[in-house]
């Protein structure tokens, strides 16, 4: 192994440029280049669990495809476990697992168990280890009753759990997850998150997680990287991202009756009133408790709930916040606060 333990995944100014042909007239075609990933550098240590987030089209999936060797970078240097993924894709495949939430790696018409049997052969997993891993994973992800069901008959959440098992049968050291909770209900999401937490804690599996769900990140990742227009614009702790984005949570308050906007001083401001229901925005870094106590003491409170900031809103605010360059994302520097990215 040529790479030090401290950098299991290593990207140095990695780029991916796609040539896109676009029709501009009856016979006219225009060749355009899309810079999907633009000089991205980062390191991930063994055993880290890192969130990789950003708006649609930011370049997240493209990065993951380069990390698996499916796509070859147009420039820069990329290593996973000391291996150049696009040059030695097969060798790397034995050490990584991938789950693409948008599409399955399972055989559509076959029962789930048959896909696993095929992987057993494909990855040449020793019999004992295969059995042991299969039993453990099937139990943890609660798939025992579904092993004989053809994949196309599974619900999205069941299929996703099936895909996660498939990605882990060969004991990969690193797991890339590209939106593993997309379309899952609350219970399935919780199950998948719990499973990933255990996998990381018990096996030390390195995890790179792409998601649009801020709760995935909050519950799983101490470090988060934000990509926008192919550029890394933030690398650090989630708390720092909230600060950088001046993100706000929303307290939704149901009063006994319609009242003028609640006065909460500096702590929060009313952003919407609809009959007896009022919405108050307050800084995500602040605790909701004093605010709730303040309101409960002065207003006839029936019910309340707290809404977490939407991840896109946090990023958008960080990227376009007043006081920034005002030029939008491409000119911005990466924000790298102290924590989590040494
Ligand atoms: N094979 C391809 N050919 C041409 N352009 C591509 C190709 N794959 C991706 N792109 C473009 O590269 C950019 C980044 O796409 P990518 O799929 O990496 O985004 P993403 O961050 O995963 O977005 P999402 O959140 O929607 O999944 C987009 O502009 C996309 O249109
Ligand atoms: Mg994607």
Closest ligand, as measured to the CA of 229: 1
Whole-angstrom Cα distance, residue 145 to residue 148? 8
Around Cβ 31, how many Cβ atoms within 10 Å?
8
- The whole-number pLDDT of residue 311 equals 66
The residue whose CA has the least distance to atom 30 of ligand 1 is: 57
* Residue 175 near residue 99 (C-beta atoms within 8 A): yes
Query: Residue 303 forms beta bridges with which residues?
Result: 254
**Gap from CA of 36 to ligand 1 centroid (Å):** 6
* Residue 340 near residue 237 (C-beta atoms within 8 A): yes
Whole-angstrom Cα distance, residue 112 to residue 138? 11
Whole-angstrom Cα distance, residue 19 to residue 143? 42
The residue whose CA has the least distance to atom 10 of ligand 1 is: 36
Structure tokens at 172: 């990969």
Q: What is the DSSP letter of 111?
A: B
Whole-angstrom Cα distance, residue 96 to residue 135? 20
The residue whose CA has the least distance to atom 24 of ligand 1 is: 56
Residue 216 CA to chain centroid, in angstroms?
7
Nearest-atom index, ligand 1, CA of 37: 14
- Strand pairing class (269-274; 223-228): unpaired
* Residue 225 near residue 235 (C-beta atoms within 8 A): yes
> CB of 18 closer than 6 A to ligand 1?
yes
**Gap from CA of 101 to ligand 2 centroid (Å):** 9
- The whole-number pLDDT of residue 321 equals 60
The residue whose CA has the least distance to atom 1 of ligand 1 is: 18
Whole-angstrom Cα distance, residue 118 to residue 178? 23
- The whole-number pLDDT of residue 6 equals 64
**Gap from CA of 230 to ligand 1 centroid (Å):** 9
> CB of 293 closer than 6 A to ligand 1?
no
* Residue 317 near residue 271 (C-beta atoms within 8 A): no
Q: What is the CA radius of gyration of the chain?
A: 23
> CB of 36 closer than 6 A to ligand 1?
yes
Global pTM? 0.80
Angle between helices 127-140 and 112-122 (to 10 degrees): 140
Nearest-atom index, ligand 1, CA of 179: 27
SS3 72: coil
- The whole-number pLDDT of residue 40 equals 97
- The whole-number pLDDT of residue 334 equals 53
Whole-angstrom Cα distance, residue 66 to residue 78? 8
Would you write out the chain's pLDDT as a tens digit for each of its 342 residues? 444 456 899 999 999 999 988 888 888 888 889 999 999 999 999 999 999 998 889 999 999 999 999 999 999 999 999 999 999 999 999 999 999 988 888 999 999 999 999 999 999 999 999 999 999 999 988 899 999 999 999 998 899 999 999 999 999 999 999 998 887 888 888 888 999 999 999 999 999 999 988 888 888 998 999 999 999 999 998 878 777 777 788 999 999 999 999 999 999 999 999 999 999 999 887 899 999 999 999 999 999 999 887 766 777 777 666 544 434 444 444 555 543 333
Nearest-atom index, ligand 1, CA of 19: 4
- The whole-number pLDDT of residue 281 equals 93
- Walk across the sheet containing 223-228 and list its strands: 96-100, 174-178, 206-210, 49-53, 223-228, 231-237
């Amino acid at each position: 192994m040529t790479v030090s333990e401290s950098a299991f995944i290593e990207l140095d100014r990695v780029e991916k440029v796609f040539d896109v042909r676009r029709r501009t007239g009856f016979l006219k075609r225009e060749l355009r280049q899309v810079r999907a990933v633009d000089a991205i550098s980062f390191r991930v240590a063994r055993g880290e669990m890192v969130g990789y987030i950003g708006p649609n089209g930011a370049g997240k999936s493209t990065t993951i495809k380069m990390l698996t060797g499916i796509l070859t970078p147009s420039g820069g240097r990329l290593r996973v476990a000391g291996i150049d993924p696009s040059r030695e894709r097969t060798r790397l495949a034995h050490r990584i697992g991938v789950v693409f939430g948008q599409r399955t790696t399972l055989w559509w018409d076959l029962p789930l168990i048959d896909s696993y049997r095929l992987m057993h052969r494909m990855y040449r997993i020793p019999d004992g280890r295969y059995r042991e891993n299969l039993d453990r994973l099937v139990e943890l992800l609660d798939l025992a009753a579904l092993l004989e069901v053809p994949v196309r008959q599974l619900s999205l959440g069941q299929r996703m759990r099936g895909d996660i098992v498939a990605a882990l049968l060969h004991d990969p050291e690193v797991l890339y997850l590209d939106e593993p909770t997309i379309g899952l209900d609350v219970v399935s999401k919780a199950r998948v998150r719990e499973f990933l937490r255990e996998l990381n804690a018990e096996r030390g599996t390195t995890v790179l997680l792409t998601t649009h769900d801020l709760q995935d990140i909050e519950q799983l990742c101490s470090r988060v990287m934000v990509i926008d227009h192919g550029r890394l614009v933030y690398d650090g702790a989630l708390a720092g991202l909230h600060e950088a984005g001046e993100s706000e949570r929303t307290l939704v308050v149901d009063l006994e009756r319609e009242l003028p906007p609640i006065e909460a001083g500096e702590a929060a401001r009313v952003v919407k009133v609809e009959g007896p229901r009022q919405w108050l925005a307050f800084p995500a870094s602040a605790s909701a408790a004093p605010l709730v106590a303040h309101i409960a003491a002065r207003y006839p409170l029936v019910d309340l709930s707290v809404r977490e900031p939407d991840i896109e809103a946090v990023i958008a605010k960080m990227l376009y916040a007043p006081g920034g360059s005002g030029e939008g994302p491409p000119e911005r520097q990466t924000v790298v606060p102290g924590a989590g990215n040494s």
